[in-house]
């Protein structure tokens, strides 16, 4: 029978921070699996005319454009309560960040408002030539 000796070792993470400061590890969440979203290569922007709202197809907005394009195709060019709820599901973990940082994710906040109010809006996808 082997006996092992256990020693208690006090270790500090490799860091340049002083010993009295606790460094919290950054938690990275996995991306939520999404269904095949439509290609947005020929989409210029997505608009909600009644709200004077548009999302241009630019870096940093491509996921939003893909999700709203999917919602337009799925819900007959309408943003409905059901569509907004599906959109929030497609955004996945980003919705938590939107709750934690109001104003950081206006497209998600719009979906939260539509889902809560149960309203319906025309949703148009403007294509490039």
Compute the distance between CA of residue 58 and CA of residue 65 in angstroms, rounded to an integer. Answer: 9
pTM of the model: 0.73
- Burial of residue 11 (CB within 10 Å: 0-12, 13-18, 19+) is exposed
Per-residue pLDDT, 34? 65
Per-residue pLDDT, 36? 82
Per-residue pLDDT, 69? 97
Closest CA to 127 of 71, 87, 69: 69
Q: For the stretch 19-33, what's the b/e string if a residue is b when 16 or more beta carbons lie within 10 angstroms of its beta carbon?
A: eeeeeeeeeeeeeee
Closest CA to 64 of 94, 19, 99: 94
Closest CA to 76 of 119, 41, 125: 125
Compute the distance between CA of residue 90 and CA of residue 67 in angstroms, rounded to an integer. Answer: 7
Per domain, the residue ranges of the chain are 43-127
Residues 16-74: pLDDT tens digits?
445 555 544 444 444 455 668 989 999 999 999 999 999 999 999 999 999 999 999 99
Compute the distance between CA of residue 90 and CA of residue 32 in angstroms, rounded to an integer. Answer: 7
- Rg from Cα positions in the chain: 22
H or E stretch covering 46: strand 43-48
């Amino acid at each position: 029978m082997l006996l092992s000796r256990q020693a208690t070792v006090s270790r500090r993470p490799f860091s340049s921070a002083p010993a009295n400061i606790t460094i919290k590890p950054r938690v990275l969440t996995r991306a939520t699996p999404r269904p095949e979203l439509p290609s947005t290569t020929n989409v210029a922007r997505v608009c909600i005319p009644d709200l004077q709202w548009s999302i241009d197809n630019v870096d940093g907005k491509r996921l939003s454009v893909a999700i709203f394009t999917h919602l337009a195709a799925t819900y007959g060019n309408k943003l409905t309560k059901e569509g907004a709820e599906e959109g929030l599901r497609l955004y996945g973990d980003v919705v938590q960040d939107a709750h934690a940082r109001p104003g950081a994710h206006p497209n998600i906040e719009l979906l939260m408002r539509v889902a809560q109010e149960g309203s319906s809006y025309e949703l148009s996808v403007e294509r490039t030539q």
